[in-house]
Amino acid sequence: MAEIRPFKALRYDPHQVKLGEVVTQPYDKITPEMQARYYELSPYNLVRIILGEARETDTPAFNVYSRAAEYLHDWRAAGILKQDSVPSIYLYSQNFTIPGTRDVAERSGLIVLGRLQDYSDKVVFRHEQTLSKPRQDRLNLLRATRAHFGQIFMLYNDPDGSIGQLVRPRSEDDPDISVLDQYEVLHRVWQVTDPAIIQAVQDGMRPKKLLIADGHHRYETALAYRDECRTKLGISDLNAAHEFVMMTLVPMESPGLVILPTHRIVHGLASFDREQMLEKAGKFFDIDRIDLRTESRSATTLLQEAGQNGTAFVAVTRQGPYLLRAKSRTVHEALSFLSPAQQSLDVVQLHNILLERVLGISEDAIRNQENVKYERDAFEAISWVRQGANVAFLINPARIDQVRETAFAGEVLPQKSTDFYPKLLSGFTIYALD
């Protein structure tokens, strides 16, 4: 069962800092340019902790992780970060314009503590593989700071909206936190302290399954740290702080649950031949040339329309774009070693057929990003081809029902199969284990 709890979050004191100058995007979305900007915004920007700048003088004993621990200690001592006085859960709302459209949406969730569960317990489910390097980095940070600074983005089924209704009256009050980020997303947070409401949320969540939308590396890091602490203590205190992780719970039925596509750019293939690629791909896909004057927005619209009746891709070459529509029977036969749920996924067909079988890129090379780049913006993906990349594949996003079905079946998707938008900002609430 899913066990959630309220907690006394560490939060920035708005009287000492401007909240918009200290919170950040998740660590794995911070580019070097963003990191530099965050450093300039405020001496208390969270980037100094979650993604500090490396120095030439760093040693095993003094480095980005030890400095992160010092910043956390000093900011707490100075009252920059203050701990809430009562255990709480936090209503978190995001208002945004869906990229590529003029549609405005809202997504709401609850920031809570959730008990760490092994995947084998069939309570928390993943949908993507993780990589060892990011896990080790986050584990080093957690060991040094003993704190969680960003929330795991968790999804759950709530078809009648009963859990959201429990806290909705709180949103009628002025928010405790309100920040407009660089992507024009309005983030608002309300502290919920009523024990009766908290208990009702706990009871409602108990039978739920939880699906990780974002934060696989941090969740598995928290699991590893939990196991380390259990070993060091020699006992298993199920109420210990390390048995829990901070998460934001969002219903899968939310109209503001937006998944964006992540396009693939293939580069560095010395033997790449467009005609040979199209000939091999023609065994699995019906291929039509798209007018050379078609811009990225028109190409993606055409892709969306084709995707309503099956799997489709747009392959962008230097000679122009092509629409690829799957020959369902042939594709499913080629992917017979996978479950039916996986066979129908666009990203699985892209990786297993177009990247591996047609272009000959190995699974390891894809995993290590040796010949494949990832790009959310279709225009940028096309630009990579104009700058010399071999080919770009524009792809439709996975649907939440596809992600849910795959994950609950105990299966995983290729890396960067989903891009939930917008991201949960880091720094609104911090879960300190001490």
Note the Cα 286 to chain centre separation in Å: 33
Q: Tens digit of pLDDT for each residue in 46-62?
A: 999 999 999 999 999 99
What's the whole-number average pLDDT of the chain?
93
Question: Structural domain boundaries of the chain?
Answer: 4-257+421-432, 262-396
pLDDT at 1 (0 to 100)? 86
User: How confident is residue 100, by pLDDT bands cut at 50, 70 and 90?
Assistant: confident
- With beta carbons less than 8 A apart as the criterion, state whether 247 and 113 touch: yes
Mean pLDDT along residues 155-166: 95
Nearest of 141, 7, 147, 136 to residue 75 by alpha carbon? 147
- With beta carbons less than 8 A apart as the criterion, state whether 428 and 90 touch: yes
User: How confident is residue 430, by pLDDT bands cut at 50, 70 and 90?
Assistant: very high
Q: Tens digit of pLDDT for each residue in 110-145?
A: 999 999 999 999 999 999 877 778 889 999 999 999
Q: Tens digit of pLDDT for each residue in 369-407?
A: 889 999 988 889 999 999 999 999 999 999 999 899 999
pLDDT at 415 (0 to 100)? 79
pTM score, whole prediction: 0.91
Nearest of 353, 394, 352 to residue 374 by alpha carbon? 394
Helix H or strand E encompassing 195: helix 195-205
Mean pLDDT along residues 355-366: 91
- Residue 200, pLDDT > 80, answer yes
pLDDT at 293 (0 to 100)? 59
Q: Tens digit of pLDDT for each residue in 272-331?
A: 999 999 999 999 999 999 875 555 557 778 888 888 888 999 999 999 899 999 999 999
**More confident position, 409 or 195:** 195
User: What architecture is domain 4-257+421-432?
Assistant: Alpha-Beta Complex (3.90)
Mean pLDDT along residues 167-178: 94
User: How confident is residue 347, by pLDDT bands cut at 50, 70 and 90?
Assistant: very high
pLDDT at 129 (0 to 100)? 79
Alpha helices (runs of H) in 309-377, residue ranges in sequence order: 328-334, 340-343, 346-349, 363-367
pLDDT at 292 (0 to 100)? 54
Q: Is 115 helix (H, G, I), strand (E, B) or coil?
A: strand
Q: Tens digit of pLDDT for each residue in 234-265?
A: 777 899 999 999 999 999 999 999 999 999 99
- With beta carbons less than 8 A apart as the criterion, state whether 286 and 325 touch: yes
pLDDT at 236 (0 to 100)? 76
